[in-house]
Structure 1
């Protein structure tokens, strides 16, 4: 067993965040030692999974949905595939932005607005912005 202060120190997460995760059901306290919550050894592994999920772009609610009741963790492979596909699309957009910025920085035209490539990039960016506004999403 590890108390909340020790778990906080070990993971670098604040005690308030650990309490929040406990209240959400992402981790479970197994008792108390005075006023401090106690956690079992699995809490640290679950916190690592939470960090991994957040780094991949999952919300805390999505991560909670992958955690079963009690000790069980159900990693939904379809959700992982869907998130990987979303990341692929985001990577492609980011690569296009990077290439556009590099072109603008190295463009031989003195006036960017006279450059056909830059004009195409502006049209693509404008179309992408309009599509994002319609769908309510952001990159």
Structure 2
């Protein structure tokens, strides 16, 4: 069984050692041993870290991500939850694409002032509804 020193794991994963220690503290990963004061991790921890990164990118909390691992650290990804998150991301993508298109229009709008641009006025109304 090959073990990775915390510094090696940090370099290979791109995750700072302080974050690795925090992930261990909250139960997302587990060290296998210690060499002096330095934690040693199994190779499978790299896969766990990739899944944590993907989960965070998808908007899952660390607690939600932790619930997607079995006690032994093996991934146990709940498909219905993943479908729900994918649907939410699809909705967010559509909203962001509409916002991007509106901003591009406003940036190029020939109106003398942004406040005279109908698309900008629409963007303001949509923003107001989101605040209410």
Q: Give the equivalent residue in structure 2 for 1:57.
A: 59
Partner of 2:126, secondary structure, is helix
Equivalent positions of 1:1-139 (< 5 A) are 1-130=3-132
1:23-54 CA-to-partner distances (Å, cap 9, x unmatched) read 11111111211111111111111111111111
TM-score (norm 1): 0.84
- Number of residue-to-residue matches in the alignment: 130
Q: Name structure 2 gaps, 5 residues minimum.
A: none
Q: Name structure 1 gaps, 5 residues minimum.
A: 131-139
Give 1:97 deviation, angstroms: 1.2
Question: In 2, distance between residues paired with 1:14 and 1:114?
Answer: 49
- Between the two structures, name the one with larger relative contact order (CA 8 Å, sep ≥ 6): 2
RMSD: 1.6
Question: In 1, distance between residues paired with 2:118 and 2:41?
Answer: 61
